[in-house]
Amino acid sequence: MAELNLILLGPPGAGKGTQAERITEDFNLPYIATGNILRAAVSEGTELGIKAKSFMDAGALVPDELIIAVILERLQAADAQDGFLLDGFPRTVPQAEALGTQLAGLERHLSAVLLIDVTDEEVVRRLSGRRVSAKTGRVYHVEFDPPKNEGVCDIDGSRLIQRDDDKPETILNRLAVYHEQTEPLVGFYTELGLLRRFDGARPPVEVHDHIRAQIATLRLEDRI
């Protein structure tokens, strides 16, 4: 069976991380999430983290030249040779072009770009109620997906926190940045025949069922 090289696309808070957890389990793919990579770099105080922090705190994108090199190198690791799930990359047309060039040079290609669609109003509701465990990475929502015990992670009891960029004024900026810099990728990947759109307003379990069914269909059609 051909390798499965997937991209998750969508506005902040669409549910990309939530779905990624399920998809990586279904298909045993390495999960490469630029937001997680950058947040780890910030908390470890690496050179990348120091450069990225102010952009992230403001809800802006970190410069292409910082992130492209990191992700293209990550894709060359042994665990990504039979497939991958990218979340948060590419986020600009130059990032998409750089990824396309690298994959073409390796005679690899993308299988599909999974767009999770939600309205701006829903994004604000979701991000303002999101809580995460800094230790396990498990994501919750105070209303839609609460932990069993308030404020602590179901997995290991670690404390749940609110991300710095989930403050109301930063959320609005992230949305504006998405529409301006990332949304053009919808057209970019539609033209390449790779875009698959999912209604992210549905409950997580339904969104997951739709994504899984779509990947199964692609496999049946022998496209991947």
Contact 72, 100 (CB under 8 A): no
For ligand AP5, which residue of 9, 41, 67, 98 counts as binding (CB under 6 A)?
Answer: 67
Which range in 7-15, 42-50, 154-162, 212-220 contacts ligand AP5 by CB under 6 A? 7-15
Please state, in angstroms and rounded to a whole number, the distance separating the CA atoms of residues 58 and 154: 30
Please state, in angstroms and rounded to a whole number, the distance separating the CA atoms of residues 65 and 63: 6
Residue 38 engages ligand AP5 in binding (rule: CB under 6 A): yes
CB of 89 to ligand AP5, least distance (A): 4
Contact 135, 124 (CB under 8 A): no
CB of 73 to ligand AP5, least distance (A): 14
The yes-or-no answer on residue 74 being catalytic is: no
Per DSSP bridges, beta strands 139-141 and 130-133 are: antiparallel
Residue 144 engages ligand AP5 in binding (rule: CB under 6 A): yes
The yes-or-no answer on residue 223 being catalytic is: no
The yes-or-no answer on residue 163 being catalytic is: yes
Residue 204 engages ligand AP5 in binding (rule: CB under 6 A): yes
**Looking at beta carbons, which residue is closest to ligand AP5?**
35
For ligand AP5, which residue of 7, 41, 110, 141 counts as binding (CB under 6 A)?
Answer: 141
Per-residue binding letters, 154-193, with ligand AP5 (x by CB under 6 A): -----------x--------x-------------------
Residue 59 engages ligand AP5 in binding (rule: CB under 6 A): yes
Residue 138 engages ligand AP5 in binding (rule: CB under 6 A): no
Chain residues that interact with ligand AP5, rule: CB under 6 A: 10, 12-18, 34-35, 38, 55-56, 59-62, 67, 88-89, 91, 95, 126, 129-130, 139-141, 144-145, 165, 174, 200, 203-204, 207
